[in-house]
């Protein structure tokens, strides 16, 4: 391996494993943010030892049984995770926005129709509880790539908000499938960011033409870049192919994660 290859390899995002642990947490307070988000702060002694080193980490949120309200911690055994009565609660993945290192965890919930977690957040009150698991693994991404480009919809804005204070880039682009008023209200630091607002609810393959056209006009460097793609699954996959196949980007520096999937209707 030559010196240039060694430098490039050392700049690759690194995966780390975290201890799998389940925790019971309780709502301390809840605040409306930018009209379409609930910011909920959780607390509890179980948060001791919680760790989330990656800006787009995912933790599992396990919700109370909608009928009984029961919410139990599972047992972690050598054979795996065992839930009481063999029933796994309804769960969704969320990105930790902030953790104070002791006993306060903050999550932002994007409010939209038909979302189980969104519905729960709308009705949640101080004292209500959740069980969380993870993050089981984290991706540690250097914050000082010279060129950085982020594509997401509202579901990815919390991760970008968490990431933004650490970013040190000469060229920083954000393409957000969100309304401008919502995006600017939610992201309080957009200084130095080249932002394109692509409209809420528009992240789907049929609407990719405008984004691809804008991306075609951006000159990508040969190295020292990071590209982050999140949101609807098929769209994310197509964008990943665009960067790695059409634009020749190294897949090690293209992070593509589906946050949700369109429900397909079968005749």
Question: Does residue 106 share a domain with residue 72?
Answer: yes
Host domain of residue 76 = 14-138
pLDDT at 8: 57
Whether residue 147 lies inside any domain: the answer is yes
- Classify residue 231: in a domain, yes or no: yes
Residue 68: its pLDDT value, please?
A: 85
Dump pLDDT digits (tens) for 213-231.
Answer: 999 999 999 999 999 999 9
Burial class (CB in 10 A: 0-12, 13-18, 19+), 249: buried
* Whether residues 187 and 95 fall in one domain: no
**Upstream peptide bond of 223 is cis (omega within 30 degrees of 0):** no
Q: What is the CATH number of the domain that holds 113?
A: 2.40.30.10
Q: What is the pLDDT of residue 9?
A: 61
Mean pLDDT score, 148-170: 98
Give mean pLDDT, residues 83-103.
Answer: 93
Instruction: Tell me how far apart the alpha carbons of residues 183 and 197 are, in angstroms, rounded to a whole number.
Output: 8
Q: 89 and 112, same structural domain?
A: yes
- Of 122, 138, 154, the residue that ends a domain is 138
Instruction: Give the end of a domain, one of 85, 112, 138.
Output: 138
According to DSSP, the residues that pair with 176 across neighbouring strands are 152, 197
Give tens-digit pLDDT for 58-90.
Answer: 999 999 988 888 888 898 888 889 998 778 999
On whether residue 1 sits in a domain, the answer given is no
Indicate the number of domains in the chain.
2
56/95 Cα distance (integer angstroms): 6
Asked if residue 228 is part of any domain, the answer here is: yes
Is 51 a domain residue? yes
Is 134 found in the same domain as 20? yes
Q: For the residues 52-63, what does the mean pLDDT come to?
A: 97
Query: Is 265 part of any domain?
Result: no
Whether residues 24 and 92 share a domain: the answer is yes
The residue out of 138, 157, 187 marking a domain boundary is 138
pLDDT (average), residues 19-31: 96
In a domain, 126, yes or no: yes
- For the entire predicted model, the pTM comes to 0.93
Close Cβ partners of 203 (under 8 Å, ≥ 6 residues apart): 153, 177, 231, 232, 235
Residue of 265, 267, 260 lying closest to 92 (CA atoms):
260
Residues 118 and 84 in one domain: yes
Check whether residue 102 and residue 145 sit in a common domain: no
Q: Are residue 198 and residue 240 in the same domain, yes or no? A: yes
What is the pLDDT, as a whole number, of residue 264? 57
2 assigned to some structural domain: no
Are 113 and 147 found together in one domain? Answer: no
Burial degree of 25 (CB within 10 A; 0-12, 13-18, 19+): buried
Residues 148 and 77 in one domain: no
| 189 and 78 co-located in one domain | no
- The residue among 149, 144, 156 whose CA lies nearest residue 174 is 149
The structure tokens listed for 65 are 């049984």
CATH number at residue 171: 3.40.50.80
């Amino acid at each position: 391996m030559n010196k240039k290859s060694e430098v490039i390899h050392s700049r690759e995002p690194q995966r780390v494993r975290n201890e799998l642990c389940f925790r019971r947490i309780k709502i301390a307070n809840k605040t409306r943010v930018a009209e379409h988000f609930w910011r909920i702060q959780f607390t509890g002694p179980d948060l001791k030892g919680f760790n989330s080193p990656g800006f787009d980490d995912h933790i599992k949120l396990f919700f109370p049984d909608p009928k009984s309200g029961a919410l139990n911690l599972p047992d972690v055994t050598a054979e795996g995770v065992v839930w009481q009565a063999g029933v796994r609660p309804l769960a969704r993945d969320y990105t930790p926005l902030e953790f104070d290192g002791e006993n306060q965890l903050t999550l932002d919930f994007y409010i939209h129709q038909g979302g189980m977690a969104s519905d729960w957040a709308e009705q949640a009150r101080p004292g209500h509880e959740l069980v969380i698991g993870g993050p089981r693994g984290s991706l540690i991404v250097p914050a000082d790539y010279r060129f950085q480009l982020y594509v997401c919809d509202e579901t990815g804005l919390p991760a970008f908000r968490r990431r933004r204070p650490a970013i040190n880039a000469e060229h920083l682009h954000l393409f957000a499938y969100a309304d401008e008023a919502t995006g600017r209200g939610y992201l309080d630091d957009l200084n130095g960011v080249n932002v394109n607002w692509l409209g809420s609810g528009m992240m789907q393959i049929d609407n990719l033409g405008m984004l691809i056209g804008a991306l075609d006009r951006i000159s990508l460097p040969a190295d020292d870049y990071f590209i982050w793609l999140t949101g609807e699954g098929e769209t994310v996959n197509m964008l990943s192919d665009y960067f790695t196949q059409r634009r020749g980007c190294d897949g090690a520096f293209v992070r593509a994660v589906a946050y949700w999937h369109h429900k397909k209707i079968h005749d």
